[in-house]
Structure 1
Amino acid sequence: MNKPRLWTKDFIIVSLLNFSLVLVFYLLVVVIGQYVTGDLGASVSEAGLVVGVFIVGAMLGRLLIGQNMDVVGRRRSLLAGLALAAFSSALYFVEAGINWLIALRLLHGISLGIASTASSTVVAHLIPASRRGEGIGYFSMSNSLATAIGPFIGIWLAQHSSFDVILLFCCALSVASCGVALLLRVPEENYSGETPPPQRLSFSPSRFLEPRVVPLCVIILLVAVFYSGVLSFVNAYATERQLVQAASFFFMAYSLSVLASRPFTGRLLDARGAHVIMYPAFVLMGSGLLLLGVADSGSMLLVSGCLIGIGFGNMQSCIQAMAIQAVDSNRMALATSTFFIFIDAGLGFGPSLLGLLIPHIGFANMYMLLGALTLLTMLPYLLLHRRGIATFATERRV
């Protein structure tokens, strides 16, 4: 029996667009803090605000578009988000002080929230239902690649050129994405007589989240908080341990491990269900964090990056696939938005919470604690799984 086709032109285009969006975000996030403190002469706390307000904007964008995508249309939502991202990228060339930059970062974050939620919703409708786990896994690889390549390009450009060149690169990539998006054909929702289409935009707080996927998203919120400790503090920790050279390859090891595992885990999710992926992922991520806490060599640091990558990377795509599978077609946009709101909250607010802890217990003990908490998070997931909330279609058919 032939499998339905996954690698269509539209699937590839949406994956490339998502890669471009995430790459620009990670490229700027590694260089803009230094620009704020160096070129603008702002304080470290103001630099932190410039970085963090982007996440707030992304969450706002997701809240707004999640409940309104079927009113606006999926293709128009994606094009609007990409156009706003290109417009925001061009505005970076306007130098009007720190307050202007904070407002611009908020706007740029909103554009990312709209465009990335739209791209994830579009791809969910492009993937054949029988290959949803595999398809979401491959699509999520665009995030993994961008998280490794974006910072690498950003640091390289910062060392060999000016901030204006970095802005020009980001602006050109954003404009090119708008042009490529025009080639995309997007399936829109077909409403029946029993389910009339929404007629107007809604901004009701009661419709910001999809209730059916919130319990699942609490799990990704927790592990995102744990992972934020790696994302934000691993370089400082490596400096403390005199492992700076190995640290420069940490996220490359993370991304390569995700890329190597996704083709197998996606197919396994479709064939055997979520539990076969999730329980080993908890163990691998927890073990990686524990290993990171005792790392005293470059090889231990890189092995921990691989374990965390396989664990957290596959948990992300698995929970996203479960969230999409749990709702009807016309609720996929809201379910996708809910998933990303929770993961953004974990990655965005986690560093602030963990930053309060570090002065008291240090980096190493923090990673040991996060490893133990990751393993303990299996318990609420087990409860959801037994109640039939954390399941994939394959498990429900068994």
Structure 2
Amino acid sequence: MQKENTNNETLWTKNFIIINIINLLIFFSFQMLLPTLPLYIKELGGSNSVIGLVTGIFVVSSVIIRPISGLLLDKLGRKKVFVIGLIIFILSVLSYSIFSVISVILFIRFIHGFGWGAVSTASSTIAADNIPKKRFGEGMGYFSLTSSLAMALAPVIGLSLIARYGSSMLFYVSTILATLGFIATFRLKYKETTTQSTNKTNGSLYEKSSLNPSFIVFFVSITYGALTSFLPLYAAEQGIANIGIFFTVYAIALFITRPLFGKIIDTLGFDFAIIPGLVLVVIAMGLLSIASSLPLFLVTAFIYGVGFGATQSSLQTMAMVGVPSNRLGAANATFLTAFDSGIGLGSIILGIVSASIGYSQMYLWAAASAVIAFTLYFIIGRKKIDPSSRLI
């Protein structure tokens, strides 16, 4: 395999463009199912608890596979993990259209989580391989735009497909998108894996140097779990029916600001992106606790999008700064495992909280989680390493 040269300053190489296209296709396929799979389960007679289990079991399997995928990415190479993960992902999506028994769908969803965990860990690692070290923050910012674009458009398209043509068409389109991404993987040139390393933790599932930013993002992602799990219910309680536009505004804010903050951390450092980002997340959660009209919800969506976009992408960049290239897979896995765990655990804990004190007060608890992240950043998170020193 040809080894890619990432020591120059060119960002938009053929390889980087291809991995961005692949990531867009995969995330589109994934995001189309998020709001629609619960409708499918409901159509089959599933209860709200079963719908919650469909979400939870997916998070569990993706969290299990991420650290294993990270280690395999560094040991076996990027291509094998990426391709195998995509095959599992594609077959899982296609299987939803074949089986209409809830117990079988739960099993498929569990397997689907394995595919998603492996694919999403591999894609971000491959992107990192192809970003010049002096433009790393900017490059990761652009790469994250593909997921933001999918987040803004895919749920709307998915809901439209299932409403007009039924669930089978939805699953076919999702399968086709992922398959196109699979085909494009064979146009990539993958970074060679190296077995020689002086790193004593070379065989570890987790990258020790990435633990601090991962620990911080765990608390940040709790706020995201509060949004995805309970915002529609909270908005309905306030008499707002068309709250889907909240996530569109949120995604637009991500799309606008992520490359900007990427350039900021490359030139000024992490503090100038993460500190204001965390402050905005806290403010957004506070505003949600008092929101009672659609305009205020949308203002909150934009503030949260800017804050979360600055924080999440910057912390992911920090998790890879100074990490040897043969441990990038483990570094990505460490970060994404913490991210998923925060969403999953946050949804469970805040669900219990909301049942006791209501959604409004629950978002204040979510704000407290962001305050904890803000505090931790000053205690364990502030990294003195220049972002451009990523490659060792």
TM-score after normalising by structure 1: 0.91
Listed one character per residue, the Cα deviations across residues 194-231 of structure 1 (whole Å, up to 9, x for unaligned) are 689x8xxx7xxxx2222221122111001101221111
User: How far has the Cα of 1:297 moved from its partner?
Assistant: 2.0
Listed one character per residue, the Cα deviations across residues 4-35 of structure 1 (whole Å, up to 9, x for unaligned) are 11111211211222222222222112111121
Q: What is the match of residue 319 of structure 1?
A: 315
- Between the aligned partners of 2:59 and 2:263, the Cα distance in structure 1 is 32
- Picking from 261, 264, 275, the partner of 1:265 is 261
User: How far has the Cα of 1:103 moved from its partner?
Assistant: 1.2
SS of corresponding position for 1:152: helix
User: How far has the Cα of 1:193 moved from its partner?
Assistant: 8.2
User: How far has the Cα of 1:190 moved from its partner?
Assistant: 4.2
1:180 paired with 2:199, answer no
TM-score after normalising by structure 2: 0.92
User: How far has the Cα of 1:349 moved from its partner?
Assistant: 2.3
- Picking from 240, 244, 265, the partner of 2:241 is 244
Q: 2:58·2:110 contact (CA, 8 Å) conserved in 1? A: yes
User: How far has the Cα of 1:186 moved from its partner?
Assistant: 1.5
1:226 paired with 2:223, answer yes
Q: 2:214·2:338 contact (CA, 8 Å) conserved in 1? A: yes
Q: 2:158·2:170 contact (CA, 8 Å) conserved in 1? A: yes
Code of the residue aligned with 1:301 in structure 2: it is: F
- Between the aligned partners of 2:321 and 2:280, the Cα distance in structure 1 is 25
Q: What is the match of residue 8 of structure 1?
A: 13
- Note the 1:186-201 alignment, pairs <5 A: 186-191=190-195
Q: 1:213·1:326 contact (CA, 8 Å) conserved in 2? A: no
Q: What is the match of residue 287 of structure 1?
A: 283
Q: 1:85·1:111 contact (CA, 8 Å) conserved in 2? A: yes
Q: What is the match of residue 58 of structure 1?
A: 62
Q: What is the match of residue 383 of structure 1?
A: 379
Larger CA deviation: 114-123 vs 24-33: 24-33
Q: What is the match of residue 29 of structure 2?
A: 24
Q: What is the match of residue 303 of structure 1?
A: 299
User: How far has the Cα of 1:296 moved from its partner?
Assistant: 2.3
User: How far has the Cα of 1:265 moved from its partner?
Assistant: 0.8
Q: 1:6·1:135 contact (CA, 8 Å) conserved in 2? A: yes
User: How far has the Cα of 1:191 moved from its partner?
Assistant: 5.0
Code of the residue aligned with 1:367 in structure 2: it is: Y
- Between the aligned partners of 2:321 and 2:389, the Cα distance in structure 1 is 11
- Picking from 115, 120, 127, the partner of 2:124 is 120
Q: 1:78·1:119 contact (CA, 8 Å) conserved in 2? A: yes
- Between the aligned partners of 1:330 and 1:220, the Cα distance in structure 2 is 23
SS of corresponding position for 1:273: coil
Code of the residue aligned with 1:234 in structure 2: it is: L
SS of corresponding position for 1:92: helix
Q: What is the match of residue 164 of structure 1?
A: 168
Change (3 A) 1:194 1:50: closer
Change (3 A) 1:256 1:126: same
SS of corresponding position for 2:97: coil
Structure 1 residues not aligned, in runs of 5+ = none
User: How far has the Cα of 1:96 moved from its partner?
Assistant: 5.6
- Note the 1:67-216 alignment, pairs <5 A: 67-95=71-99, 97-191=101-195, 207-216=204-213
RMSD of Structure 2 on Structure 1 (CA): 2.2
Code of the residue aligned with 1:327 in structure 2: it is: V
Q: 2:30·2:174 contact (CA, 8 Å) conserved in 1? A: no
- Between the aligned partners of 1:145 and 1:326, the Cα distance in structure 2 is 29
- Between the aligned partners of 2:360 and 2:154, the Cα distance in structure 1 is 27
- Between the aligned partners of 2:55 and 2:372, the Cα distance in structure 1 is 31
Q: What is the match of residue 344 of structure 1?
A: 340
Q: 2:139·2:262 contact (CA, 8 Å) conserved in 1? A: yes
User: How far has the Cα of 1:301 moved from its partner?
Assistant: 0.6
SS of corresponding position for 1:182: helix
Code of the residue aligned with 1:127 in structure 2: it is: I
Q: 1:275·1:391 contact (CA, 8 Å) conserved in 2? A: no
Q: 1:274·1:392 contact (CA, 8 Å) conserved in 2? A: no
- Between the aligned partners of 1:14 and 1:35, the Cα distance in structure 2 is 31
- Between the aligned partners of 1:57 and 1:16, the Cα distance in structure 2 is 26
- Between the aligned partners of 1:30 and 1:19, the Cα distance in structure 2 is 18
User: How far has the Cα of 1:367 moved from its partner?
Assistant: 1.4
Q: 1:272·1:394 contact (CA, 8 Å) conserved in 2? A: no
Q: 2:210·2:334 contact (CA, 8 Å) conserved in 1? A: yes
1:329 paired with 2:325, answer yes
- Between the aligned partners of 1:316 and 1:117, the Cα distance in structure 2 is 15
Change (3 A) 1:331 1:395: closer
- Between the aligned partners of 1:336 and 1:41, the Cα distance in structure 2 is 38
User: How far has the Cα of 1:341 moved from its partner?
Assistant: 0.4
- Between the aligned partners of 2:315 and 2:54, the Cα distance in structure 1 is 30
User: How far has the Cα of 1:373 moved from its partner?
Assistant: 3.6
Change (3 A) 1:396 1:136: closer
Q: 1:21·1:112 contact (CA, 8 Å) conserved in 2? A: no
Code of the residue aligned with 2:22 in structure 1: it is: L
Change (3 A) 1:296 1:184: same
Q: 2:72·2:81 contact (CA, 8 Å) conserved in 1? A: no
Listed one character per residue, the Cα deviations across residues 244-271 of structure 1 (whole Å, up to 9, x for unaligned) are 23x1210111011111112211111100
User: How far has the Cα of 1:99 moved from its partner?
Assistant: 2.0
User: Percentage identity across aligned positions?
Assistant: 31
